[in-house]
Amino acid sequence: MSAPRDTSDDRAPGARSIPRDALGLGLRPPHHEAIERTRPELGFFEIIAENYLGASPLPRERLRRIAERTPIVAHGVSVNLLGEAPLDRDYLSRLRDLIQELRIPYFTDHLCWTAFEGVTHHDLLPAPYDPELIPYAAGRAFEVQEALGVPFGIENLSSYVAWERDALPEWEFYRRVVEESGCWAMLDLNNVFVSSENHGFDPRAYLDSVPWRRVLQVHLAGHQTLPSGLRHDTHDRPVCDEVWSLYEEAWRRGGPFPTLLEWDAEIPPLHVALAELGKARRVRPS
């Protein structure tokens, strides 16, 4: 199935239930009890969709209670957009059921591959930035969006290696996949910064290429700097000053957009994560 080239600058119509300036937090099990007890005022929570597609009813029941008060958006790690295997229709069907049950307004996943020859690697692996791959990636993204019935946001990766076949800068490859798919951008600013440090490019050159009218949501997170100097996207600490500066610049260029804080390891108490997320309002230019 071929994907249409996008010629529209309209915001994703299915995402209008999330205010454009909303702040959201990644919903993680260590915070469930505190969320149900304190009921924090948030624009939305983001779930890792795969955590709610299993046979056990308990995760889904708890999620339903939270969703009664706060909108839920879904983020995935299993679409395998750049993989060689056909898209997993059973996975997409179960995902669509979850989306419909909880009235999830949009779904996001990564511009990467995660499986090969039937083996899932449980990692987000990059492909060469080769223009020949753009129609393939765009066509599969279009199929995902059609299968789910809601806007599909494509996330940029944090990158640690380069391919000999790279013929385009990452930001041009990413922009063209988003535009040619008719889908949307899930722009991770921490990933932009991590990749810029690892590969020696100006992160603002990345922002120059972002199709801002296609940005569905923005991610923020913390990362580690290894002894070698490599930046590692770990989601285990506060957002660094350089990423906050990039967020300020992104808001100036393309805001407003929903903003989500990810914290996936060394998860602090809920009030600490909420305080970190709250910095976004102070950073945004008035």
Residue 1 maps to a domain: no
- Domain annotation covers residue 80: yes
What confidence score (pLDDT) does residue 16 get? 67
For residues 241 and 58, the model is more confident at: 241
- Average pLDDT for residues 126-133, to the nearest whole number? 89
Is 80 exceeded by the pLDDT of residue 8? no
pLDDT in tens, 9-59: 456 766 768 999 999 999 999 999 999 999 999 999 999 999 999 888 888
pLDDT category at 163 given cuts 50, 70, 90 is confident
Of the candidate ranges 111-120, 170-179, 220-229, the one whose mean pLDDT is the lowest: 111-120
pLDDT of residue 115: 61
User: Is 4 a member of any domain?
Assistant: no
Structural domain boundaries, residue 162 = 13-283
The pLDDT value recorded for residue 124 is 77
Question: d(Cα 251, Cα 271) in Å, to the nearest integer?
Answer: 25
Q: Given a cut of 90, is residue 117 above it in pLDDT?
A: no
Domain membership flag for residue 8: no
- Please give the Cα distance from 133 to 82 (Å, whole number): 8
Give domain status of residue 93, yes or no.
Answer: yes
pLDDT of 14 reads: 65
Residue in 56, 49, 9, 46 with CA at minimum distance from that of residue 24 = 46
pLDDT at 194: 96
pLDDT score at 55: 80
Q: What's the number of domains the chain is made of?
A: 1
User: Residue 145 sits in a domain of what CATH number?
Assistant: 3.20.20.150
261 within a domain of the structure (yes/no): yes
**Which burial class, exposed, middle or buried, applies to 197 when counting CB atoms under 10 A from its CB (0-12, 13-18, 19+)?**
middle
For the stretch 201-218, pLDDT in tens is 999 999 999 999 999 999
pLDDT at 120 over 80: no
Residue 13: its pLDDT value, please?
66
- Mean pLDDT value across residues 166-175: 93
pTM for the predicted model, two decimal places: 0.92
Rounded to whole angstroms, how far apart are CA atoms 251 and 175? Answer: 18
Beta-ladder partners of 125: 113
- Identify the pLDDT of residue 1: 44
Write out pLDDT tens, residues 67-109. Answer: 999 999 999 988 998 888 899 999 999 999 999 999 999 999 9
